[in-house]
Chains A and B, each alone.
Chain A
């Protein structure tokens, strides 16, 4: 594992990195280092010992190599917008920032592929592909700034993943710097490379198996027609029932999003989206595809909404109106800041059919603890984003909010769901992993980690609550784990 973080060893590493890269690509000024101490989850802050900004895959691998030689842990960071602390630095480690690896290397519409560097913003891929009639489907709400490399690390989704899948369904190849400091290619432009689907294991591994330096993605043909509607309901139950009716009828919308009254209030305050007044819930339903398919299915969607109590339905007539409908939803997280001093954004998943039940339980928990919860979620796939609101200056509210947040995750697990649908485990949910997985489950996953990162230097401390000593025999540990004894790990 890591050597002691004496100034001398870091200084030596810094000097070596300056020689490998250039002075301006190595940051050592403490004030500057501080600006990198957190990602989108600003509550966790750790100042890295060093920040480096490689410009090519070769440089990135060389940086990793240098870290490994020095026994220094490293953490990768793209745009620093993650919501689980996956890019939280190590105080004794190097933060490798990919923001300067941001070229779009190739758009190949004839192969439905694009090849990009990891620092490219998600939306830039779509912008580059659109003139050819294609786009990049995974669309996290932060897509204007989140990086493709970050998307790969987290297996990011977005509103349209209901129909189109997640990052892992759209990455066909990568070049990455292994935790040994080698550059390895997995997959490519063509599908089904022989051997293990290591690429499938890599996507979503949150930077613990290496750093992507080049990503080959699948492009999707722009749909002939997109139709979007916004429906106002009096209650979330009604909106949920409408969702069930739509899905139950065999319609596969491109997206179904729901917001409750509190979330609507926030969005209104932020972007003045003008959602139906008095709505206890809104549904945004989007269909895309061949025009006759969309037209036929859209009629059904409208009908289901009305039959389930929609008191107002708005249909976007053009791109501008469509953007307005989405604006409220896409800015919901940040908008919540206007109606509450502080908030926790959760990311749980439940089977969609459990939605009414879970929402009711969340409302109960919220009432019992006196903590407001605004709900924004991907109604189509049961991915909830409860926003737990509180004011940290009022005594006890922080703890209450944390408890409510944890209780909601418990609810998700109780209902056979997941502790994270999109944001990843990162730093934030490691303690919840044992609620979802057994020791054997976590052990098995870590076998993969040991294969890639036997020294445990690639983003250590993320995902798994108890790191596994590579080389030990798999299976249950009797008594105290050696790492617990060493005071390095705790069992939650």
Chain B
């Protein structure tokens, strides 16, 4: 289903009016940039999705890169335009790739779009095309290679923690030497270190946690990579909450990475491998829900059906699996609370992680859960729809703009005057922690699960107020 513009490029006219008497595109006669067309036949960005865009621009004010730079080509509208020109035969130039790479994948545009453009689909299809077809610079390749040798592997990530870091220096060197990755991670790691108390040893979660009281569901739980390496207490809290609410929790030791970072960076084959691993790990466990406490992971898991659509051996299972995926807050609200909530007198600024709010549409549930805790006062953060700048590993690949976005978010968070920042994503937690520290502010940081866990267990507020 292709549409013709008056210039006859064979590309879709963004939806809107059509006239037969449009002015001549003088430069059109000059011809397009030389080179082969940007996209091949393997899941290119779809023309009919591109055509949904009416060019209204409502996405611009919510796009972090447009907010930072005010340039059309780094806005969703502009990126769709570039995809369109690529579909029309324009080559995949460095410039085009740079604009795709700069997209945070935060999906704020999806929320803002009145026409229902599925930008999430478009950018994911585009990114895998870029990854396969574009020759990155050696430095870029090295850096990305290092990231993906590290982040999807919790045991390797733990090498970055605390005193172990220097002890394991040799191991780290092998992984990431001379890629420039470590210096980029240092500020965040420093912030992380000051999140007391540092664990001497990660809590080991049993493979099956029985339900407390009447068993209402059997659920699987993702332990994750960054989460389990840096915030194992969040995982422990998650398991406890689920148990307290009557869930039997299945936590296979060897789950592997869910593949979110890979999918969000166009590394399709790698992501598919990870996905199959997760599906296999939970095969035959009889789970009704698959519970995730990391927003980025959750949004990826919910799309396993799409990720493995081309694999006849996994397509159906992947779709069935995806249908079971729930964010922790979703499943708790769906089941309804049974465990008693003890008071937590504390002011909380709740930060919507992009992959929870925009990508999954989950905004009300975390607020409902926090609101159900007696004594807890919830405050809204200004400009909540703008990303904190973490965006998976975007902040590692784009440190300077990530710093600017982080500072904006830190200032907005601190402006609420809340004692505690609560969010549902480890990446956000680290980014905001580092940013708050950088601007000389101070605030407590906690995962939604930790707050709920403290309330259910009747812990004092002080336990939550680990300060940056």
Q: Hey, which bits of chain A sit against chain B, CB under 8 A?
A: 5, 27, 29-32, 34-47, 49, 53, 79-81, 88, 91-92, 97, 99-100, 102, 119, 121, 142, 144-146, 270-271, 331, 333-335, 337-338, 341-345, 390, 392-393, 398-399, 401-402, 427
Assembled-state Cα–Cα distance A338/B15 (Å):
10
Establish whether residues B58 and A342, one from each chain, have CB atoms under 8 Å apart when the complex forms.
Answer: no
Assembled-state Cα–Cα distance A90/B73 (Å):
19
B95 within 8 A of A: yes
Contacts of A53 in B (CB 8 A): 70-71
Q: How far is the CB of A282 from chain B (nearest CB, A)?
A: 18
Establish whether residues B72 and A35, one from each chain, have CB atoms under 8 Å apart when the complex forms.
Answer: yes
Residues of B in contact with A, size category: 35 or more
Contacts of A46 in B (CB 8 A): 23, 25-27
B137 within 8 A of A: no
Establish whether residues B25 and A144, one from each chain, have CB atoms under 8 Å apart when the complex forms.
Answer: no
* Residue contacts A-B, CB under 8 angstroms, 25 given: A5-B26, A30-B33, A35-B72, A42-B13, A43-B13, A45-B7, A47-B25, A47-B27, A53-B71, A97-B70, A100-B69, A119-B70, A121-B61, A142-B57, A334-B58, A337-B15, A337-B54, A338-B116, A343-B17, A344-B17, A392-B3, A392-B18, A398-B18, A398-B19, A427-B23
A340, closest chain B residue (CB): B15
Contacts of B82 in A (CB 8 A): 31, 34-35
Establish whether residues B27 and A335, one from each chain, have CB atoms under 8 Å apart when the complex forms.
Answer: no
Contacts of A335 in B (CB 8 A): 114-115
Q: Hey, which bits of chain B sit against chain A, CB under 8 A?
A: 1, 3, 5-7, 13-20, 22-23, 25-28, 32-33, 52, 54-58, 60-61, 69-73, 77-78, 81-82, 85, 90, 93, 95-96, 99, 113-116
A99 in complex: contacting residue of B33, B70, B99, CB < 8 Å: B70
Assembled-state Cα–Cα distance A344/B28 (Å):
25
Between A43, A91, A345, the greatest number of chain B beta carbons within 10 A of the residue's beta carbon is seen for A43
A399, closest chain B residue (CB): B20
Establish whether residues A144 and B58, one from each chain, have CB atoms under 8 Å apart when the complex forms.
Answer: yes
Q: Which 8 A-B pairs have the closest CB atoms?
A: A91-B26, A99-B70, A334-B114, A42-B55, A331-B114, A35-B78, A344-B17, A42-B14
* A44/B23 contact (C-beta < 8 A), A32-B95, A121-B61 known: yes
Contacts of A270 in B (CB 8 A): 114-116
Contacts of A29 in B (CB 8 A): 93, 95
Establish whether residues A43 and B26, one from each chain, have CB atoms under 8 Å apart when the complex forms.
Answer: no
Contacts of B115 in A (CB 8 A): 270, 334-335, 337-338
Establish whether residues B17 and A342, one from each chain, have CB atoms under 8 Å apart when the complex forms.
Answer: yes
Q: How far is the CB of A146 from chain B (nearest CB, A)?
A: 8
A32, closest chain B residue (CB): B73
Establish whether residues A145 and B60, one from each chain, have CB atoms under 8 Å apart when the complex forms.
Answer: yes
Establish whether residues A31 and B93, one from each chain, have CB atoms under 8 Å apart when the complex forms.
Answer: yes
Assembled-state Cα–Cα distance A91/B61 (Å):
28
Establish whether residues B54 and A42, one from each chain, have CB atoms under 8 Å apart when the complex forms.
Answer: yes
Assembled-state Cα–Cα distance A88/B25 (Å):
11
* A43/B23 contact (C-beta < 8 A), A35-B82, A142-B56, A144-B58 known: no
A330, closest chain B residue (CB): B114
Contacts of A97 in B (CB 8 A): 70, 72
A29, closest chain B residue (CB): B95
Contacts of A39 in B (CB 8 A): 55
Establish whether residues B25 and A31, one from each chain, have CB atoms under 8 Å apart when the complex forms.
Answer: no
* A102/B19 contact (C-beta < 8 A), A38-B55, A43-B13, A270-B116 known: no
Between B15, B61, B113, the greatest number of chain A beta carbons within 10 A of the residue's beta carbon is seen for B15
Q: A30-B33, A42-B14, A337-B15 are in contact. List 19 more A-B contacts (CB 8 A).
A: A31-B33, A31-B85, A40-B57, A42-B17, A43-B17, A92-B26, A102-B70, A144-B61, A145-B56, A270-B114, A334-B114, A334-B115, A335-B115, A337-B52, A337-B54, A343-B15, A345-B17, A392-B13, A402-B20
Establish whether residues A31 and B72, one from each chain, have CB atoms under 8 Å apart when the complex forms.
Answer: no
Establish whether residues B18 and A342, one from each chain, have CB atoms under 8 Å apart when the complex forms.
Answer: yes
Establish whether residues B70 and A100, one from each chain, have CB atoms under 8 Å apart when the complex forms.
Answer: yes
Establish whether residues A334 and B73, one from each chain, have CB atoms under 8 Å apart when the complex forms.
Answer: no
- Total inter-chain residue pairs, C-beta < 8 Å: 149
Between B7, B71, B90, the greatest number of chain A beta carbons within 10 A of the residue's beta carbon is seen for B71
Q: How far is the CB of B289 from chain A (nearest CB, A)?
A: 26
A81, closest chain B residue (CB): B57
Assembled-state Cα–Cα distance A234/B32 (Å):
53
Assembled-state Cα–Cα distance A42/B19 (Å):
11
Establish whether residues A334 and B56, one from each chain, have CB atoms under 8 Å apart when the complex forms.
Answer: yes
Contacts of B69 in A (CB 8 A): 100
A81 in complex: contacting residue of B7, B56, B95, CB < 8 Å: B56
Contacts of A119 in B (CB 8 A): 70
Establish whether residues B16 and A142, one from each chain, have CB atoms under 8 Å apart when the complex forms.
Answer: no
* A47/B28 contact (C-beta < 8 A), A31-B90, A99-B71, A398-B20 known: yes
B66, closest chain A residue (CB): A99
Contacts of A338 in B (CB 8 A): 115-116
A402, closest chain B residue (CB): B19
Contacts of B16 in A (CB 8 A): 41-43, 342-343
Contacts of B61 in A (CB 8 A): 121, 144-145
Establish whether residues B57 and A80, one from each chain, have CB atoms under 8 Å apart when the complex forms.
Answer: yes
* A79/B57 contact (C-beta < 8 A), A43-B22, A47-B25, A335-B114 known: yes
Assembled-state Cα–Cα distance A45/B78 (Å):
14
Assembled-state Cα–Cα distance A455/B39 (Å):
45
B93, closest chain A residue (CB): A31
Establish whether residues A41 and B17, one from each chain, have CB atoms under 8 Å apart when the complex forms.
Answer: yes
Assembled-state Cα–Cα distance A27/B73 (Å):
10
Q: How far is the CB of A271 from chain B (nearest CB, A)?
A: 7
Assembled-state Cα–Cα distance A398/B6 (Å):
12
Contacts of B85 in A (CB 8 A): 31, 34
Contacts of A81 in B (CB 8 A): 56-57
Establish whether residues A31 and B95, one from each chain, have CB atoms under 8 Å apart when the complex forms.
Answer: yes
Between B18, B78, B93, B95, the greatest number of chain A beta carbons within 10 A of the residue's beta carbon is seen for B18
Establish whether residues A91 and B58, one from each chain, have CB atoms under 8 Å apart when the complex forms.
Answer: no
Contacts of B58 in A (CB 8 A): 142, 144-145, 334
Q: How far is the CB of B276 from chain A (nearest CB, A)?
A: 36
Between A31, A47, A100, A392, the greatest number of chain B beta carbons within 10 A of the residue's beta carbon is seen for A31
Assembled-state Cα–Cα distance A430/B90 (Å):
33
Assembled-state Cα–Cα distance A469/B20 (Å):
29
Contacts of B6 in A (CB 8 A): 43
Between A37, A49, A142, A337, the greatest number of chain B beta carbons within 10 A of the residue's beta carbon is seen for A337
Q: How far is the CB of B393 from chain A (nearest CB, A)?
A: 25
Assembled-state Cα–Cα distance A390/B20 (Å):
14
Q: How far is the CB of A158 from chain B (nearest CB, A)?
A: 15
Assembled-state Cα–Cα distance A38/B23 (Å):
12
Assembled-state Cα–Cα distance A46/B6 (Å):
11
Assembled-state Cα–Cα distance A36/B25 (Å):
13
Contacts of A343 in B (CB 8 A): 15-17
Contacts of A38 in B (CB 8 A): 14, 55
Contacts of A41 in B (CB 8 A): 16-17
Assembled-state Cα–Cα distance A144/B109 (Å):
13
Contacts of A345 in B (CB 8 A): 17
Establish whether residues A341 and B56, one from each chain, have CB atoms under 8 Å apart when the complex forms.
Answer: no
Establish whether residues A45 and B71, one from each chain, have CB atoms under 8 Å apart when the complex forms.
Answer: no
Q: How far is the CB of A285 from chain B (nearest CB, A)?
A: 23
Assembled-state Cα–Cα distance A344/B25 (Å):
21
A338, closest chain B residue (CB): B116
Assembled-state Cα–Cα distance A5/B32 (Å):
18
Contacts of A142 in B (CB 8 A): 56-58
Q: How far is the CB of A48 from chain B (nearest CB, A)?
A: 9
Assembled-state Cα–Cα distance A79/B3 (Å):
26
A80, closest chain B residue (CB): B57
Contacts of B20 in A (CB 8 A): 398-399, 402
